[in-house]
A and B are shown apart, each in its own frame.
Chain A
Amino acid sequence: SAVISQKPSRDICQRGTSLTIQCQVDSQVTMMFWYRQQPGQSLTLIATANQGSEATYESGFVIDKFPISRPNLTFSTLTVSNMSPEDSSIYLCSASLGSNYGYTFGSGTRLTVV
């Protein structure tokens, strides 16, 4: 299975600022996704990171707030823009080698906005 390196692992940020989270996969993958996990909650899909085109966002998530890049088949970034305390969550990157391999998840970025 793919191995994902996600960084930073945690950060404390001031409200109104932005944070970019990086996700590096050790092999080329077809699909990459970004999730959010609010405290005590399950994972919610933010968007699908498409290589070479704009990300596909789920309902309730918009590009201006969560811009995503995917310049190649092994790397993606998620930016949390104009942060507020409500953005305090764990953000997770995931990727798949294909239908027979399941998803691999990064270890997550624990974001606290103060």
Chain B
Amino acid sequence: DAKTTQPPSMDCAEGRAANLPCNHSTISGNEYVYWYRQIHSQGPQYIIHGLKNNETNEMASLIITEDRKSSTLILPHATLRDTAVYYCIGTYSGAGSYQLTFGKGTKLSVIP
């Protein structure tokens, strides 16, 4: 798995966009970037993943730089319920045989 680096904590005002960065300079060409979040005392929740192209779903957008050395998770309108630890993970995604290696993540605090 690729080593990822995330800021330990971030604040975001409620209703504003939350932009969470992740550096993964050692990611290989066929490793995907996955984002999960863990709300206090719950199991991690899958958010989004991508390989090269930017991705969007009902929860968030994922912007991956052209050189794939970094990415940004965007929560377009943060709410208090988005307060959580967000994990960026680089891993292979083939035939269901991949593992997740969790780093320390970014603790996002959404402020009223």
Contacts and interface: CB of A to CB of B under 8 A. Distances in A.
Contacts of B100: 33, 43, 45, 94, 103
Nearest to A107: B43
Interface string A82-111: 000000000010101111111111111010
Given A42-B103, A92-B43, A99 B98 contact: yes
B59 to A, nearest CB: 11
B46 A103 contact: yes
Nearest to B97: A31
A1 interface: yes
Contacts of A31: 96-98
A33 B104 contact: no
Q: Is the interface of A mostly helix, strand, loop or mixed?
A: strand
B101 A104 contact: no
A44 B103 CA distance: 9
Contact of B99 (A6, A30, A33): A33
A94 B102 CA distance: 13
A43 B44 contact: yes
A42 B99 CA distance: 15
A98 B96 contact: yes
A48 interface: yes
B96 A30 contact: yes
Interface string B78-112: 00000000010000011111111111110000000
Given A42-B104, A44-B102, A107-B43, A102 B34 contact: yes
Interface of B: 34, 36, 41-46, 49, 87, 93-105
7 contacts: A6-B43, A30-B97, A43-B102, A44-B102, A99-B93, A99-B96, A108-B42
